[in-house]
Structure 1
């Protein structure tokens, strides 16, 4: 068993990212594009999608990512197009197929504790990044 800390979080993230890559492969998308689609899904259009994506991923090429989604007809005016909504639904279904057994195997009380711990780690990491 790996102790709670950076190694466990990193390995977990890598394993889940590998599963996400499988789910995204059918749509010929990569993780940053997926994050952009999810942000566009929740966006009210009041803030540029590239800026939202940068604030979420810290990636330097967010404008290019958004442009690639616009070129494919998945995003329009910083929001999902109808094609984008269809793609997100297909990907979400595939993610559910791949991961439902993972989440179902975690006891609800353990899930709540992990949620609290990981949100604390995330908040602290964001605070450190904000000072850099």
Structure 2
């Protein structure tokens, strides 16, 4: 956090990140209850305070991204374990395989049932290249 901030401003930044409520953040940071709204507005006009809020928000987002990556790796290991386990049921293996493929970006093949018009003539299907 920015070293140019006072202790109360640092506390304000930490509290503001919690719920984006400036008045409540000012109160929780130890500013005057009576003037909390005014003080909040004043703090949010300062570039040093805004910069500190943005930096803290960026840091939190980066930490969350890393946690999601770690969780995704663990989830993949669990799914691979199900696939490789000879005691897993076929149903569990199929579900694990679908989940792995889905997470890798492979979409399931859509099944479509076609029926004729009743005339006994074959149905003609044309596949058109969309490009």
- Name the TM-score, length of structure 2 as normaliser: 0.30
Structure holding more helix per residue: 1
With normalisation by structure 1, the TM-score equals 0.30
Q: State which structure, 1 or 2, has the greater radius of gyration over its C-alpha atoms.
A: 2
Identify which of structures 1 and 2 has the higher relative contact order when contacts are C-alpha pairs closer than 8 Å and 6+ apart: 1
